[in-house]
A and B are shown apart, each in its own frame.
Chain A
Amino acid sequence: MKFNKAIKNIFIVLFSTLLISACSTAKKAAVDTTDDVYTGTETVKYLAKGVPDRVFFATNKSKLTTASRDTLRKQATWLRKNKDITITIEGHADERGTREYNLALGERRANSAKDYLMTYGVSGKRIAVISYGKERPINPASSPLAWSQNRRSVTVKAN
C-alpha cells in the first residue's frame, strides 16, 4: 500500500515536472497545484540562495510531499552550515476549516517540517514551532489557489 503510494507520488512528481516544463511558456497559474498541494513559487522566499523558506500541504493533511522533503533537505544543509542560526517554523492552515482545528493542524504541519529537519541533523533545540492556524494567510483571496498557498509551513530565522 505504502509502496503503491510512493509510486503514485513519483508519478505525480514526474507528471507535474512534465507539465511545468510543458507549460513554462504558457499560462503560469494552470499548473500551480498538484494533487491539492501548491507547487508554484509565487509566494516563496529564500533563506539563502537556492534555499526556499516554505513547504506546502494538501487540505487537512500534514504529510510532506517529495518536493517538500527536497526543500527541507536544502534547509537542513543550510542550517548545518550556519550553526549559529536558530529558526521558528510557522505552521498555517487555509480558511476552509474550523478555527480551533486549524490551530492544531498548523502545529502538526510545523512539526512535520521540524521532525524532517531533525532527521537531517538539525538539533531540535535550534527549532521553535508556532501555529497560526488560519489567522495569517499569505494570499487573502478565497480561491483554491490562495488556499493552497496558505496551507504551508514557513521557516523563519529567529535570531
Chain B
Amino acid sequence: MRKILLTLSLLLFFYNNAYGLITVDITRGNLDPLPIAVSPLHVDPKSEKISQFKTEKLGEEISKIVERNFKSTGLFNPLKKDAFVQKPDIAHLKPRFEDWRLIKAQALVTGKLLIKDKKLKVEFRLWDLTAAKEMVALSFTTTPNNWRRVAHIISDKIYERLTGESGYFDTRIAYVSETGPKNQRIKKLAIMDQDGFNTKYLTLGNELVLTPRFNTTNQLVTYLSYFKNMPRVYLLDIETGIQEVVGNFPGMTFAPRFSPDGKKIIMSFAKDGNSDIYSMDLETRVVEQITKHPSIDTSPSYSPDGKYITFNSDRSGLQQIYVMRSDGTQVKRITHGAGLYGTPVWSPRGDLIAFTKVRKGRFYIGVMRSDGSGERLLTENFYQEAPSWSPNGRVLIFYRETKSDSKGKGFSAKLWSIDITGYNERRLKTETDASDPSWSSLLSK
C-alpha cells in the first residue's frame, strides 16, 4: 500500500512538473486520504446470544468503530457501505478485487466473528485492491465485553500496516471532568477510551483534583488532589481504586509525572514561595531534589530514555523552557522566542518537545526539537494548554477554554487533538466539560 501512495505522489509530482498548474504544499497533512472500504464483519449464525447486546449487529458495530477511528486520523477516507459490492462473508474469503476497485476503494477490510463458549473469536483481513493481495490476516479471542477494544485493535493493526507506524486506537485518555459554574467548578478524575466511550469517573468531586498522568503500563495515574485542603501529589490504581499520597512534604506538591520506567514520580514542591523539582522513588520512597533555584521550576517531563528532564522556569524573569540531565546538572534554556513558554512534554519518540506558548494574549500549542530549534506552532486560540502525546508521537491532545462574559457565561473547557503536521484539528467527545488530558500508551502491545 505504501507503494500505491508512493506511486500516487510521484504521479502528482510529475504532473506538476509537466503542467505547472497545481501546487502541492508538501508541509501539509494528507490531502488525499486513502479510500478504504470496511466491510461489516460477518457474524457466524452459530454464535451464542449474549444478553448485553445484539450479537447479530456486532459485526456492523465493530466495522463502524474501525471506520470512525480511520476517519479521525484524516489519513483515510472510509467509503459508504451502501456502495459495497459483496456480502461480508464472501468478501472475507476472497474479494472480487475488480468490483471493489469500481467503487474507488484502494484497500478493503473484511472479517468474521463467532461467539462460542462465552468467548468472542474475531478474524480480519486487510486487502490491497490494486495489487489484488492480502496484506494482513489476524485472528484473536477475547471476552465479548471487550468488543469495542477488538475494533480498536483491528484499527491499530491496519494503521500500522498502511502507515508503517504503530497505532493509537487501543488507548485511553485520563482527564479532569468539569461541571458547574466557572468560579465553583466541580472537578473529578475521569477515564475514557480514546474515542470517547466507556467513561468512568474515578473520584466523586468532593475535592479539587488536577493534572492526572498515566504511567507507562496504564495501571496507575498520578495527580494533584486538594484532599483535606492540602494540595498533594497522589497515586491512584485504576483497577483497585486505591489512592495514596506520595508527595506528602511540608508544602504543596504538584505537577507530577512518571519516569519512563515507571519507578519514579517527578514533581514540583513549593515551599516558602519557591517551587523546585523533586523526584521520588516509588519503591524506596527516597526523595531527591533536582533543581535548586529561587524561581518557579515546574511542569517537569522526562525524555523517553530517562536521561533528561525538560521543565519550565521563570529564572530568566519570564516563563521559559529548559532541558537538564535527570540529575539536575547541565541546565540549558532552549526557548528564546518572543513570548512565554510552558508545559513542555517530551515526545515518546524522543525527537520533539510539545509546549504551550503565550504571546500577545494568545495561546499556542507547538512542537520543537529538544534543543529548541525548529519551533512550529500548530494551533492558536484564546486559551489552550497542556499537550499530551499519542503513543506513536503523531498526535497531540490538549484542552481549550473559551472566553466568558461579564457574568462568567459562555465558559467551556473541551479536549482537542491535532496532528503534529498542524492539520486534522478536532474536538474529542466527552460527557462533561474536560481538561488536563493524559494519553495512555497502547493497552495491548
Q: Do A and B come from one complex?
A: yes
> B405 to chain A: which residues have CB within 8 Å?
141-142
Question: Once the chains bind, are B319 and A60 in contact (CB under 8 Å)?
Answer: yes
Residue in B252, B268, B272, B312 with the greatest tally of chain A CB atoms within 10 Å: B252
Q: How many chain A residues touch the partner (CB < 8 A)?
A: 31
- Name B404's closest neighbour in chain A (CB-CB): A142
Question: Once the chains bind, are A95 and B383 in contact (CB under 8 Å)?
Answer: yes
Which one of B210, B298, B404, B408 lies within 8 Å of A101 (CB-CB)? B298
Residue in A97, A99, A111 with the greatest tally of chain B CB atoms within 10 Å: A99
Question: Once the chains bind, are A104 and B229 in contact (CB under 8 Å)?
Answer: no
> B385 to chain A: which residues have CB within 8 Å?
98-99
CB distance from A116 to the nearest CB of B (A): 11
The answer to the question of A50 belonging to the interface, with a C-beta cut-off of 8 Å to chain B, is: no
Question: Once the chains bind, are B252 and A105 in contact (CB under 8 Å)?
Answer: no
- Which of A11-19, A66-74, A128-136 is near enough to bind chain B? A128-136
> A151 to chain B: which residues have CB within 8 Å?
none
- Name B355's closest neighbour in chain A (CB-CB): A98
CB distance from B410 to the nearest CB of A (A): 8
Question: Once the chains bind, are A115 and B273 in contact (CB under 8 Å)?
Answer: yes
Give the docked Cα–Cα distance between A100 and B436 (Å).
Answer: 11
Which one of A96, A103, A110, A135 lies within 8 Å of B383 (CB-CB)? A96
The answer to the question of A107 belonging to the interface, with a C-beta cut-off of 8 Å to chain B, is: yes
The answer to the question of A137 belonging to the interface, with a C-beta cut-off of 8 Å to chain B, is: yes
Question: Once the chains bind, are B211 and A99 in contact (CB under 8 Å)?
Answer: yes
> B298 to chain A: which residues have CB within 8 Å?
100-101, 103-104
The answer to the question of B403 belonging to the interface, with a C-beta cut-off of 8 Å to chain A, is: yes
The answer to the question of A148 belonging to the interface, with a C-beta cut-off of 8 Å to chain B, is: no
The answer to the question of B270 belonging to the interface, with a C-beta cut-off of 8 Å to chain A, is: yes
CB distance from B7 to the nearest CB of A (A): 45
Question: Once the chains bind, are B404 and A141 in contact (CB under 8 Å)?
Answer: yes
- Name B317's closest neighbour in chain A (CB-CB): A60
The answer to the question of A108 belonging to the interface, with a C-beta cut-off of 8 Å to chain B, is: yes
Give the docked Cα–Cα distance between A81 and B299 (Å).
Answer: 42
The answer to the question of B4 belonging to the interface, with a C-beta cut-off of 8 Å to chain A, is: no
Give the docked Cα–Cα distance between A107 and B230 (Å).
Answer: 12
Give the docked Cα–Cα distance between A60 and B318 (Å).
Answer: 8
Give the docked Cα–Cα distance between A115 and B185 (Å).
Answer: 30
The answer to the question of A138 belonging to the interface, with a C-beta cut-off of 8 Å to chain B, is: yes
Question: Once the chains bind, are B252 and A103 in contact (CB under 8 Å)?
Answer: yes
Instruction: Fill in one digit per residue for B57-77: 1 if any A CB lies within 8 Å of its CB, else 0.
Output: 000000000000000000000
- Name A141's closest neighbour in chain B (CB-CB): B406
Give the docked Cα–Cα distance between A139 and B273 (Å).
Answer: 25
Instruction: Fill in one digit per residue for B351-379: 1 if any A CB lies within 8 Å of its CB, else 0.
Output: 00000101001000000000000000000
| Contact of A131 with B319 at beta-carbon distance under 8 Å, contacts A98-B343, A99-B211 already known | no
The answer to the question of B108 belonging to the interface, with a C-beta cut-off of 8 Å to chain A, is: no
Give the docked Cα–Cα distance between A142 and B402 (Å).
Answer: 9
Question: Once the chains bind, are B299 and A98 in contact (CB under 8 Å)?
Answer: yes
Q: Which residues between 239 and 254 of chain B lie within 8 Å of chain A, taking CB atoms?
A: 251-252, 254
CB distance from A140 to the nearest CB of B (A): 3
Q: Which residues between 26 and 74 of chain B lie within 8 Å of chain A, taking CB atoms?
A: none
- Name A108's closest neighbour in chain B (CB-CB): B273
> B272 to chain A: which residues have CB within 8 Å?
111
Which one of A96, A107, A136 lies within 8 Å of B273 (CB-CB)? A107
Instruction: Fill in one digit per residue for B314-345: 1 if any A CB lies within 8 Å of its CB, else 0.
Output: 10001100000000000000000000101100
Which one of A105, A107, A112, A141 lies within 8 Å of B407 (CB-CB)? A141
CB distance from B384 to the nearest CB of A (A): 10
Give the docked Cα–Cα distance between A82 and B181 (Å).
Answer: 36
Give the docked Cα–Cα distance between A111 and B272 (Å).
Answer: 6
Give the docked Cα–Cα distance between A114 and B57 (Å).
Answer: 65
CB distance from B371 to the nearest CB of A (A): 22
The answer to the question of A62 belonging to the interface, with a C-beta cut-off of 8 Å to chain B, is: yes
Give the docked Cα–Cα distance between A111 and B296 (Å).
Answer: 13
Question: Once the chains bind, are B299 and A100 in contact (CB under 8 Å)?
Answer: yes
Which one of B229, B318, B407 lies within 8 Å of A130 (CB-CB)? B229
| Contact of A100 with B268 at beta-carbon distance under 8 Å, contacts A107-B273, A140-B182 already known | yes
Question: Once the chains bind, are A103 and B231 in contact (CB under 8 Å)?
Answer: yes
Question: Once the chains bind, are B211 and A98 in contact (CB under 8 Å)?
Answer: no
Q: Which residues between 37 and 86 of chain A lie within 8 Å of chain B, taking CB atoms?
A: 60, 62
> B190 to chain A: which residues have CB within 8 Å?
none
The answer to the question of A143 belonging to the interface, with a C-beta cut-off of 8 Å to chain B, is: yes
- Name B210's closest neighbour in chain A (CB-CB): A99
Between A and B, 30 residue pairs with Cβ closer than 8 Å are: A60-B319, A60-B340, A62-B273, A95-B383, A95-B401, A96-B361, A97-B342, A98-B342, A98-B358, A98-B386, A99-B385, A99-B435, A100-B211, A101-B312, A103-B255, A104-B268, A104-B296, A107-B275, A130-B230, A131-B252, A135-B210, A137-B408, A138-B183, A139-B183, A140-B182, A140-B404, A141-B405, A141-B406, A142-B403, A142-B411
In the A-B complex, list the 9 residue pairs whose CB atoms are closest, starting with the nearest: A140-B408, A111-B273, A140-B182, A104-B275, A98-B342, A104-B296, A142-B403, A107-B270, A100-B255
- Report A's interface with B, CB cutoff 8 A: 60, 62, 95-101, 103-105, 107-108, 110-112, 115, 130-132, 135-143, 146
